[in-house]
Structure 1
Amino acid sequence: MAATDGSRPLRIAIVSPYDFAYPGGVTNHISGLSDELRQRGHDVTIVAPSSRPRDDIDADNLAVIGRPIPVPTAGSIARVTLSLTLGKRVKPLLERGNFDVVHLHEPMTPTLPLTFLRLADGPALVGTFHAYAERRRALGLSRPLLQRWVQRLDERIAVTEPAREFANRYFPGSYSIIPNGVDTQAFAQAAPFPMFRDGKLNILFQGRMEKRKGFPHMLRAYAHIRWQFPNCRLLVVGPGNMDRESARVIGERGLEDVHFIGYASNDDLPRYYRTADIFCSPALGNESMGIVLIQAMAAGRAVVASDIAGHRSVVAHEHNGLLADPRNEEVFASTLIRLLRDAELRNTIANTGSETVARYHWGVVTDEILQVYHSALERRSQRSGSGRDATAPTAELTAS
């Protein structure tokens, strides 16, 4: 059993169920956490499926296991591997890696994290729960089967209070709340793109082209904005193809000054935030926190967001952002127009948001995650010392 001395480097496996070649919140969080841990001297291996060859991905510590397929879920597309034969790859990796800690992100998502839960007997097991939804029928139906495996976790993390409430609904237990991290310095110091700093005010939408991100509602609101405040443009950053509804809105309303950037690299993304005057997230739900809001605040930009649980975990209305219902296009538009017309209010909200982001700095987040790692190591050591099977439920989890 590994020692729990906080001063010594750890051997850590960070496991993701999601396609590591496709951008997303969990993938970005894992990459940032891995970088920070390695800078502190820890030995980190990222394990994830990938739709692209290992050599095409900018992560020299990535072990690719499984080929992902797109699976519709909760208004989004989860790119996960559903192979039932991953154990043939996972077991040798566990033996070679001799890990102190296996950190599973979305540990109940098939099938890679569950395979690690089944086979990892020695390391301390930590699970981070990112997801939030009003309800998820499939998870409720599979709960009796998954309960056996979730009880193997030595420690659990939820990225926000809504994520904790969602996970606790299906898997009651104790959760530490530790948010996703952001490279706050990169967003604060990025240089804007000069071609968009021409006197027009820029509204930024950044996200995947998925139904739950609410982009058609953004366009409908923008149509109202253009009538009342024509000196603005909409910048659209993110992967995916525009859906038919969005294309129809643009055509029917004759929208101009909508610039589709597409995917932005890690170097360019902070620059688009800094190019914006206002950041807008019209997401319709199933957001556990909205990391895009923190990125905008780190860039010193005013935020308008939909009034949903995940956003309320970050934004206090009229304090560090404004909240409104994107389904009501006139109200959502008037909220944005209010900021477009009032530079002083934009600056006040942006400055307050800049104070908010300290909580999400990678140094702070990593300190807290390392505390959880060492707590998990201590718990695992106590289980082994008592002679109790590490796969058995603890009294605490059984009682909960």
Structure 2
Amino acid sequence: MKIALVSPYDFAYPGGVCNHISNLEEQLTKMGHDVKIIAPASKAVSALGERLIPIGKPRPVPVSGSVARITLSPWLSSRIKRVLEREKFEVAHLHEPLMPMLCTTVLRLSNAPNIGTFHASGGKPWYDFGTPLGKLILKKWFRRLDYKIAVSKPAMDYVNKFFPDEYSIVPNGVDTGHFRPDVEPLEEYLDGKLNILFIGRLEKRKGLDYLLDAYQQVKREIPDSRLLVVGPGIRLRKKYEKRVARRGIEDVIFIGYATYGDLPRYYKTADIVCCPATGWESFGIVLIEAMAVGTPVVASNILGYASVLTHGSEGLLVPPKNVPGLAEALLSLAGDESRRQKMSQNGIATAQKYSWENVAKQVLACYQKALG
């Protein structure tokens, strides 16, 4: 089957939707399908070669407490039309299909069955233009979709508020060959200290503020502990580093961006992974990656996280923005190695359900339904 996977986001910049598309492309290609990714790209993505068709120059746009790097050019039609005529895709699979301008233009011009996957579960990612005309345009684009997918129940419930329809839930996946229990940890952090790990972009909604406050309490109780902060972001990193220095909190290490190859090693190095996001998470991909490696998780009890982690099984859920609760949960697991081991085994078993092989099979079943 000849498949187009369409991303509205800059494919040269790491992010959940782009990672989802990359892994899906790899798995579908392994299964014998001819797959191309259509996306804006701020620079060449050499790893994909001709499998990536770059269209449009991405610009940073604030969206729902984050920054979306999308192309807003209204002059994409002729380029997209040429690509669609040349490639003759049998299926066009658009991720966040109502995000302008690349996805909406492909949606308008594609003559193949159009499948849309909705990832978001918070804010207003273009679902509401704020004007009657804008809403009419979105509804017109939405009617071009032949099949609708949401990555979780929270994502489905969210998009249903704007566009009531029938959706299939197909979750995000994890590369269980890459994120696996037998990866090697990072030697420099194996000095006997308890390692707590935060992985994510340094954005306010990711909740690092609350983790820093909670870790200050943990550090008082367990002096032999360390907080590793992994993820891109410059502006807030400087703020967080000043905050840590001002309060005299020791052993907070800001790693910055980590390569995909190194991520499993960070998870393996950690005794506990902490995901303190305040909301707007439709799915807990970091939680699943940690589980696949076998590291227990302490996470906010928000819908996207609670849909993948069972409290007391693979980790603990605490109310968002609750510093005392976060500190208590971290201390509880820190002091109970046997419980962490049990959660580790439960997490490994749970993560297998989200392997990309299983997810790709579910996606293909959706394609077949759309093709009739």
Normalising by structure 2, what TM-score?
0.95
Gaps of 5+ in 2: none
Aligned-pair CA distance for 1:249: 2.5
Paired residue for 1:59, among 48, 58, 67? 48
Aligned to 2:124: 136
Aligned to 2:214: 221
What SS is found at the alignment partner of 1:184?
A: coil
Aligned to 1:303: 297
Aligned-pair CA distance for 1:13: 0.6
| CA 242–342 in structure 1, closer or farther in 2 if over 3 Å, else same | farther
| CA 57–256 in structure 1, closer or farther in 2 if over 3 Å, else same | farther
- Aligned-residue sequence identity (percent) comes to 49
Query: Partners of 1:366 and 1:146 in 2: how far apart?
Result: 28
Aligned to 1:7: none
Query: Partners of 1:249 and 1:223 in 2: how far apart?
Result: 11
Q: Is 1:127 paired with 2:116?
A: yes
Question: Which stretch shifts more, 75-84 or 342-351?
Answer: 342-351
Aligned to 2:323: 329
RMSD, matched Cα = 1.3
Aligned to 2:344: 350
Aligned-pair CA distance for 1:242: 5.1
Paired residue for 1:169, among 158, 161, 167? 161
Q: Cα deviation per residue 1:117-172 (whole Å; 9 max; x = unaligned)?
A: 11012x11100000001x52852334322011111111111000000001111111
Q: Is 1:150 paired with 2:142?
A: yes
What SS is found at the alignment partner of 2:67?
A: strand
Gaps of 5+ in 1: 1-9, 379-400
Rg bigger for which structure? Answer: 1
Q: Is 1:20 paired with 2:6?
A: no
Aligned-pair CA distance for 1:328: 2.2
Segments of 4+ moved more than 3 angstroms? none
Contact kept, 8 Å, 2:147 with 2:370, in 1: the verdict is yes
Question: Which stretch shifts more, 141-150 or 236-245?
Answer: 236-245
Flag the structure with more relative contact order, 1 or 2, with Cα contacts below 8 A and sequence separation at least 6: 1
Contact kept, 8 Å, 1:185 with 1:298, in 2: the verdict is no
* AA matched with 1:46: I
Contact kept, 8 Å, 2:298 with 2:317, in 1: the verdict is yes
* AA matched with 1:40: M
Aligned to 1:198: 191
Q: Cα deviation per residue 1:250-290 (whole Å; 9 max; x = unaligned)?
A: 02321111112111112111111111111000111100012
* AA matched with 1:155: Y
Aligned-pair CA distance for 1:187: 1.2
Aligned to 1:253: 247
Aligned to 1:238: 231
Contact kept, 8 Å, 1:237 with 1:264, in 2: the verdict is yes
Aligned to 2:179: 187
